[in-house]
Each structure stands twice: as structure tokens, then as C-alpha cells.
A and B are shown apart, each in its own frame.
Chain A
Amino acid sequence: MRVEHADVVVVGGGAAGLSAALAAVESFAAAARDDAVVALVSKVYPMRSHTVAAEGGAAGVVPGGVDTADQHVADTMRGGAGLSHEDAVRFVVDRAPAELARLERLGMPWSRAEDGRPQVRRFGGMTNPRTWFAADKTGFHLLHTLFQTSLRETSIHRLDEHVALDLLLADDGAARGVVLHDQQRGEVVVVLAPAVVLATGGYARAWATSTNAGIVTGDGLSMALRARLPLRDLEMVQVHPTCLPGSGILITEAARGEGGVLLDAAGERYLADYGLGPVTPVGAPEARRMELGPRDQLSQAFWHADRDGRTIPTRDGGVVHLDLRHLGKAFLDERLPLVAGLARRFAGVDPVTEPIPVRPAAHYTMGGIVATPSGQVVDAAGEPVPGLFAAGECASTGLHGANRLGSNSLVETLVGGRAAGSLAADALRRSSASRPTAPDLVDQARGLADRWLAMRGRGTEPPAAIRRELGAVLDAEVGIFRDGDGLARAAATLDDLHERYQDVRVADTADVFNSDWTQALELGAMLTVARGVVAAAAARTESRGAHQRLDHPHTDDVARHSLVTTDARGAVSVRLRPVHAAVARAQGDA
């Protein structure tokens, strides 16, 4: 076992983690702490992180135009359907333009207007255009800009291909570091640090039909649960309406914005029959109607059409057609090159001559580790957890509420990541906390690691089967619409899978790059979080935002957060707390 020391350890190398690490470096530099070490942990290499797949863009009000911060706040609050916190929204909105400008100065290739200024475009749910973008590869460019910038910082100590196993906590609950496994050297690593930033991403890969990369498995959330921390609003999962069947590869909203239309099995513009009409002429899309309606309404319309027998059956479930043929080859190659390429390579369809088969897929998870707007993690009693911070998709700060507005998540990674990184470095300086004392923490780390290592070379339950059944039950029962019976079935299935997982087969006993083992760990994380998702979805007997109950179609007058915790035996419990209580408490603290 290797023991390392750092001043701040950031877990996760996507946009939020890289932003946090860079901000911590700046804070230490400003304090003339030349010896400071910022450890950056990634289970892949940072430039492989799932930020890379984000297509659309990042929202930030361009000053001097018609758009205003108040309007950005209002749009976000409306999308959040009662679960957003205005202070958290305003925190991000106010800092967004400065962060997008900072990225520009670091070399981000934002798409430009003719006069040389960064260009903005409109996304779903926006009153005014405010999405900064880099063609249809915004996340890719954002991630590579941050990663390449991080290469310049010698105080960032990268721990690539290190899988996080658990948080290390002191007796008083304060974070003291993390336990990792170095896949390359095949050894356990303990990083002792007085500040830990979790930037581990979401959990949408648990669904079989998902736009998410294989690595998006809720690792950080499951670590938080094991540390007895609550997870908030886990049931709020955004479903994207237009994805390739099977692979779940996302076909961006821009394809519809440019004039693509959705057709059922009979070639009808079915959206008109599900509350999104009246029909707009082909080639003349209109904001908020038909194909440009809100994402959740498009997904809901698909669900109804599928039940009404209007979709086209395939081995990956029913599909509808996204028809771009009328746009012509030249236009597609010029305006939607990524979409055209994805359709050709991954669906075997040339959108110039054939419509693209699409169906909804799990896309973004609003639920997460409870944190203040600037990333301070709080415990079940609402008290700050010393030394523990969270940023990006793994955090629930009150920004997205019950549904995320497009373009708000990339900017959250920048604002939240920076805030958490700065806070982690500052908290450290304020308390002049000495580096954690080692011996008992190292013993604790060894105990935690041994438990995970003991999974190797034992078990009888094939992990692939558990993974398949987990994905299938979430697709079937915890998707666009839910009801009590379906959630009860899902809970029973997950209890069974949880039992079987206790005896999961890990045949490979190697130390180095044992991906049989790490995939089993990821499966365990997904199962843990999924059980929380189902429990929270069952407890929320109303329809709100991304959570739509067929048996409870109304929205409660009082907006409440769900808070999921688990006990030492893994039993899940859910509490519902009024949103205003959470907000009042946070303001009281401030």
C-alpha cells in the first residue's frame, strides 16, 4: 500500500474536477504556498472523462445585450419546477459569464460571430439566446482546453487510472482523504489530505438505454452513501428524447432546431396528437412547438405513442423516425456534420436518404450529494462536513431542481468546480490544518481496501447478467412515466439483484488492470444508487419536473426534496423535506 500526502485531493478529472484543481492551484499560488500539492484522481485519463461527449453548449448571459441575469435565473427556476434554490441558481448565473470568458482566455475555441465576439444561440427553455458553443462539440473542446491547461501546472499531481474506493473520514466526520486503487501498478493508494473535492459525475449509465459513457456509474454518490451522507432528489433523471436505439448515442436537439421532424410508423407527425401541436410546416420550426417542444414533453409524447402502437418495433424497443432528408446533403454536411456521421457510423443510416431511428434515453441525473452553492457538502442534519466538497453532476446544490435546463450543466462544472476548488484550498489555509496524522487513518484505509480486494477470485453470480437486469428494470419502471406498481416491481428486482451482488463473480485475480474487478465495483455503485433512486421515486407521490407519476399526476402545493440515506447494513431510507426549510437553513448559515 502506497501512502501519499496532498493539500487538496480532487476525485474526478472531468470539467468540474479540472476546474477545481486549477482553482486550488491559483489559491495556493496567491497565498505563496509554493509547496502545495493538488492531487487529481481519475479512474481514466482526464481527457477521456464524460464531459467530452457534451455537444450543445454552456449558458452565460452576454452583458450589454437584451438578456439579463434575472432572466437566466427565471428560466432556470421555471425548469427546476420548485426544487431549485434561488441562491444556488443566482450563484451560477452571476459567475457564468466570467467563467466562459476565462475559458476563452485559456484558448477555448468558442464559435464566433462575424465581428469576432463569441456567438450565442438559443436552447430549449431559454427566453433569450445565451448558449456559448464550439460547433456541436462544446464539451470536447471544454475538456481538452482545461486538460491541456492543467498540463502546465506542476503542482497538480495526477493520479490517472486510479479507481476511488472510499472516503477516509476522521472520528468527528471530517474528510481526511481517499482510498484508491492504482490500476497501472496494481496497488492500493491512500491519499491523505485535509480537503477532498468530489467531482465524480452522475449515474445515468445504470439505465440500459443511456446516452452516458460506461464510466458514469455513480461512484462518488455511492461513496457518499457509505459515509452516511444523504443524497438528494435522486429520482430526478432527465431523459433525452432523440437517441439512437441500442447504443443510446445522443442526436442533439440542434437536428430538430435545424428543421428535422419526428414521424411515427405511419409517417405522421405524431407530436401534434400529444399536446405539442398545432403542426408547424416542415422546414419552419417554431420555438416551444412540435419538435422544438420541451425535452420532457417530447419524451412523454414518445411514451404515449409507443403505448398507442404508433412506434416501429426493433430489437431495441420501439423507435420513431427523425427525418432530415428534406434538408439535403450539403446542408447536413455543413450544419450537422456530427449528427450525420453518428447516424452513418452507429445506426447504419445515411440521413440524406433515410430517416434516423430514435428513441428516448436516460441522459442527465439531477440528484446528488447535498452541497451549498459553493460546494460545501452538508450531512443529514444539514451541518457542513469539514473538508468535504462536491461539484458538477455529482453535486446537488439546488441549481437544476427537478429538471435541468440545457446548457446549465457545462457552466455548472466551471462555476461549481472553481468554487469548490477555491473553497477547499481556502478552508485549508484558514484553519491552517496540519496534514492529517497518518497511522490510524492508514489502518482505516487498509481495512476499507481489503474489503474491496477480497471480492477478487470469488463469487458465482455473473456480473453481466446483474448489469443487464439492472438496466432493463430501470428502463422499464423508472423512465419517462412511473407508477406505484412499477416502482414496487423495480424495488423487488433491485433487492434481488442486491442479494445476488453479494456473491458477484470476479474471476480475475490480477492486481494490474483488473477490469473484471473494477467493473464489478462500478456495478455495485450503480446498484447502490439505483436502490436510492427507486426508493425516492416511490416516496414522491406527485408529478414534478422529470418525475412523472401516472398514479399521482398532480403536483403537491409544497415542494419537497427527497433525501436518501443508507444504514450500515445497506438498508435504504427516504425522507421528504420542504424546499423552503433547506433554503432557510442555508441562508441562516450564511
Chain B
Amino acid sequence: MTDQTLRVTVTRQEPGQAPRDETFDVPFDDRTSVLDALDWIKDNAEPSLTFRWSCRSGVCGSCGVMVNGRPVLGCETAVAGYRTSGITVGPMAHAEVQRDLVVDTDAFLAKLRGVSPWMLPVPGADPLPVVEPVETTDQDAPRTLDVLAVHSQTPGQVEAYKGLSQCIDCMLCYAACPVLDDVTGFTGPAAIATARRWDLDSRDQGNETRFSALAENEEGIWPCIQVGACTRACPKDVDPARAIRDYQREAMG
């Protein structure tokens, strides 16, 4: 840290109370992230400031916040670019505030669960279409054909869903999506992208289950108006807008 400081305004809120802004002067350098700035405030100025974080490397998905109205991961957003304007950090939009920058996650997880984001049919329920497993002659090991059965999947088949499988459930796309201003029940970008991830997986046969959850449901794919804010907000280059558009096209035949 150097002696230059950044003006950081944080929108704070106690449960059941109105939001209020508090401003802090935070020392920073070219490496300081938004999360570092929040940590500095908690350690040096306001111990009750509440925010989530864990991995600090952009993969756990905990630290989503709005910075000057834009949803970002706090850990990978440098503050130096805002040295003249300062920053206003607020809770992610379109989610109920639990305290300060911590927002409800359960509503999102309910939407995710609603698209059956797991292998269908459930393994064990039906015989697997399997790669020829190699029998072993080692009698000591607890190996049978059954426990070693795996699907065949070529690198190209992995590529088909790889991009959509990168979702870290950070909910930035929900914060960015303008549809959620009006349709709070909209299944939303990440859950639909994850549904698509399973549909495009050659091993899965749950397309009909997910299609009915998404297309025969007015809060499934239909509220999306294709402005692409989700895809632009995604820190992992997932393209939910395209996943939703593809579903809409299929549904319209």
C-alpha cells in the first residue's frame, strides 16, 4: 500500500432496516482489489462490515458485489482503475439483502435445483451404455466390471458442453439481468446455462425433463428478451444468453 487513498462508499443494510451509505478513505496501490479494500475497512475502520469471500482467486464464486452499478467479483477487480471516480460498492441486484453486501443465495439454488442439474437417468437406475472396461486379474482389489464402468466421450463431445460447465454460481448474471427487475421468478441465466450444460452432455438423457421445466413454464426460458447482459457480466466466459436463445428456438420449432 502507498499513501494514496481511494474513496470507497459502501451501501450497508441491517436486516429489516433501510439501506444507508458509508464512505471510507482506503489506501491502495495498483494491486489492490475491491475485496482487499473491503478487508481494509473491516480490519481498520468498521469491524461490522459484512461481505462474503473465500478463495480470492475467482473460482469459489463468493464475493460478487455491485461496483458503481456493475456486478463483479470483488477479488479480481482492481480498484486502481477507479482512482479518480472512487467506487460505490453495493449488494448484488435482484437478490434479497441479508446484511450489508451479503445477499440471499437460496432463491438461486432453488432455481438451479428446478432444472435437475444432475445426470439423468440417475446412474444405477438403468444399465449404462459403457466403454468396454478392461478386466483385471488382480484378485485382491475390489474391482468388478460394474464399479469401473464409464461412458465413452470423445474430446469433441466434451467440448460441446465445456464452456457451459464453467459456471461458478456467483450470481453476477442474475444481478445483471434486466428481466429480473420485473419477473422475479425467472429461472434466470446461470440455472438455464447449467441445464443446457447437462443437455449438451452426450452421457445425459434428461433433455425432456429439463425442457418441460423450462419451456412449459412461463418463468422458464420465455421471459428472456436477449439483451445479453448475463453473458457480458460472466467472469468465466459462460454464454447463458446463447443457451437461452437456443432453448427458445428449439421450443418454437
Contacts and interface: CB of A to CB of B under 8 A. Distances in A.
A334 to B, nearest CB: 13
A214 B58 contact: no
Contact of A114 (B140, B141, B154): B154
Given A94-B140, A98-B148, A345 B76 contact: yes
B134 interface: yes
Given A106-B119, A464-B43, A516 B134 contact: no
Contacts of B14: 510
Given A140-B168, A160-B106, A249-B57, 13 more contacts: A64-B134, A68-B138, A107-B204, A109-B161, A111-B155, A116-B152, A117-B131, A214-B55, A214-B56, A247-B56, A510-B99, A515-B42, A515-B51
Chain B: interface residue count, which band? 35 or more
A98 B55 contact: no
Interface in A192-217: 213-215
Contact of B201 (A94, A107, A111, A507): A107
B117 interface: yes
Contacts of A97: 143, 147-148
A53 B57 contact: yes
Interface in A215-255: 215, 246-247, 249
Contacts of A117: 131, 150, 152
Interface string B132-154: 01111010111100011111111
A464 B143 contact: no
A94 B56 CA distance: 35
Contacts of A462: 43
B155 A112 contact: yes
Given A45-B105, A140-B168, A510-B99, A95 B58 contact: no
Contact of B142 (A94, A135, A141, A215): A94
A313 interface: no
A470 B201 CA distance: 47
Contacts of A49: 60
- Chain B CB count within 10 A is highest, among A69, A102, A214, A464, for A214
Interface string A110-142: 011111111000000000000000010100110
A507 B48 CA distance: 7
B102 interface: yes
Given A94-B140, A107-B201, A152 B116 contact: yes
Pairs A-B, 4 closest by C-beta atoms: A64-B134, A116-B152, A464-B43, A98-B147
A149 interface: yes
B50 interface: yes
16 contacts: A50-B60, A63-B135, A64-B135, A65-B134, A94-B140, A98-B142, A102-B123, A106-B123, A137-B59, A149-B118, A184-B98, A213-B54, A214-B54, A506-B47, A508-B47, A510-B48
B252 interface: no
B158 interface: yes
B155 A148 contact: no
A60 to B, nearest CB: 10
B122 A247 contact: no
A513 B99 contact: yes
Given A53-B57, A151-B117, A246-B31, A141 B147 contact: no
A317 interface: no
Interface of A: 44-45, 47-50, 52-53, 63-65, 68-69, 94-95, 97-98, 101-102, 104-107, 109, 111-118, 135, 137, 140-141, 144, 148-149, 151-152, 160, 184, 213-215, 246-247, 249, 342, 345-346, 348, 462, 464, 505-508, 510, 512-516
Contact of B150 (A114, A118, A148): A118
Contact of A48 (B61, B119, B167): B61
Contact of B102 (A47, A65, A107, A513): A513
B82 to A, nearest CB: 16
A102 B102 CA distance: 35
Contact of B147 (A65, A101, A184, A213): A101
A516 B42 contact: yes
Contacts of A114: 154-155
Contact of B15 (A65, A102, A512): A512
B44 interface: yes
Interface in B8-67: 14-15, 30-31, 42-44, 47-48, 50-62
B56 A249 contact: yes
Interface string B93-127: 00000111010011001001100111100110000
Interface string B148-180: 111111110110011001111100000000000
B54 A346 contact: no
Q: Which one of A45, A113, A149, A247 has the greatest number of beta carbons of chain B within 10 Å? A: A45
Nearest to A107: B119
Contact of A101 (B102, B135, B150, B194): B150
Chain B CB within 10 A, most for which of A53, A144, A249, A514:
A144
A161 to B, nearest CB: 8
